[in-house]
Amino acid sequence: MKMTRAKRSKIIYNIVTFALVIGAFFILQSMIDAKTISRSLKGQLVPICCWIVMAVSLNLVIGISGELSLGHAGFMSVGAYTGAVISGVLVNLYGVQDTTLRLVIAIAAGGVMAGIVGALIGIPVLRLRGDYLAIVTLAFGEIIRNLVNVLYIGTGDGRVYSSILNKKLPEGVTMLVDGAKGAVKIKPISTFMAGFILILITLVVVLNLVNSRAGRAIKATRDNRIAAESMGVNVTKYKMMAFVTAAVLAGMAGALYGLNSSTVVPTQFTFNQSINVLVFVVLGGLGNILGSVISATALTVLPEVLRAFADYRMLVYAVVLILVMIFTNNPTIRAITSRLFAPLKSFFRRAAKYAPAVGGAVKELGGEEEGEEQKHE
């Protein structure tokens, strides 16, 4: 089985990504079992998982598909609310006590709901380009927040009640979503394990999509829409594919996020939150999935580590953000740093040479359309 260099490095990249995520999980899990983990870190584990999934899925839209979306938090809120409602309904109406079952159903429902919303939004939005697309996704994010703010859902008498703008749900109804008060009385059922599995699912889905025929079509569209169109690529279809997949993943992350807390409020999913995820993606590198994983983790933990700085914390965060952007993007500074890291890079390149044996083992994870790719080359 002969492989090109590009193919090999792609597989190495995938192995490293999975190895890092799985390794980190086992280290953290053993720290939890040994009770050596700090409360603070333990409490952040599930949110970190959620932000990783958010960052990776947004990277699919921005890095791979090349569309600037500023409303990603909107999908997360759809997922969070759906998850909270489904979990509440399952307990209140059907008496489902098994938390794992409930969590799985809630996350799946969150994904489906966000996917539907994503498709509805994607149809008009993907006709636009560049900053116009950005502003419309921003607008949708804000509209979702505005609507959720006046949404009321409750259970009682064996049925689900809901209303919008109208506060008068019948007396005695157990409120699940209570307008500005958000989703209330959620029983937190999210676990670190669930977060880990969700990250794995996300990575498998996204890396597979990226390395598949569809992924190449998406990237071709990003690089040159007209050229791709003239080659017979159905641009709208592939852009939709990336957009809806990202929405589904964000919805699943949202459900996990919502069910990790006793309450969820609309103000958690503002434009600023979308921007936060965007920062993860850009800092990790556009199109770089592993980068998104690392930067989402680092930037979620960073403000917590900076707690020692007390009130100067957000100031320090802002300065770090600006400096990192300048240092990683200024050509002069980059030239200097890349020279510093050159030995490391060549080491990886050499390592890649001897990797084919390992590469075969993760073929199923890395690229399912192996044969096809070779035909192209």
98 versus 131: smaller Cβ distance to other proteins: 131
Residue linked to tokens 């539907």:
116
According to the binding rule CB under 8 A, does residue 286 interact with other proteins?
Answer: yes
| Nearest distance in Å: CB 138, other proteins | 7
According to the binding rule CB under 8 A, does residue 340 interact with other proteins?
Answer: no
DSSP calls for 202-226: HHHHHHHHHHSHHHHHHHHHHH-HH
- Residue 311: partners with Cβ closer than 8 Å, 6 or more residues away: none
* Binding pattern for the stretch 172-211 against other proteins, x by CB under 8 A and - elsewhere: -------xxxx-xx--x-----------------------
- The rounded distance, in Å, linking the Cα atoms of 323 and 171 is 55
According to the binding rule CB under 8 A, does residue 335 interact with other proteins?
Answer: no
181 versus 237: smaller Cβ distance to other proteins: 181
According to the binding rule CB under 8 A, does residue 76 interact with other proteins?
Answer: no
Cross-sheet strand order for the sheet of 159-164: 159-164, 151-156, 174-178
Contact 296, 21 (CB under 8 A): no
Would you state the structure tokens that stand for residue 302, as one six-digit string? Answer: 């960073």
Considering only residues 80 to 119 of the shown chain, the ones binding other proteins according to CB under 8 A are none
- The rounded distance, in Å, linking the Cα atoms of 67 and 19 is 29
According to the binding rule CB under 8 A, does residue 237 interact with other proteins?
Answer: no
- The rounded distance, in Å, linking the Cα atoms of 83 and 52 is 18
Q: How many CA atoms lie within 13 A of 65 on its CB side?
A: 30
Neighbours of 78 (CB within 10 A): 26
143 versus 336: smaller Cβ distance to other proteins: 143
318 versus 351: smaller Cβ distance to other proteins: 318
63 versus 215: smaller Cβ distance to other proteins: 63
| Nearest distance in Å: CB 371, other proteins | 33
Question: Of residues 104, 112, 147, 362, which one binds other proteins by CB under 8 A?
Answer: 147
According to the binding rule CB under 8 A, does residue 336 interact with other proteins?
Answer: no
Looking at residue 159, its amino acid is: R
Considering only residues 351 to 370 of the shown chain, the ones binding other proteins according to CB under 8 A are none
Beta bridge partners of 155: 160, 174
208 versus 300: smaller Cβ distance to other proteins: 300
Mark the segment that binds other proteins (CB under 8 A) among 140-148, 196-204, 335-343, 350-358: 140-148
| Nearest distance in Å: CB 183, other proteins | 10
Looking at residue 43, its amino acid is: G
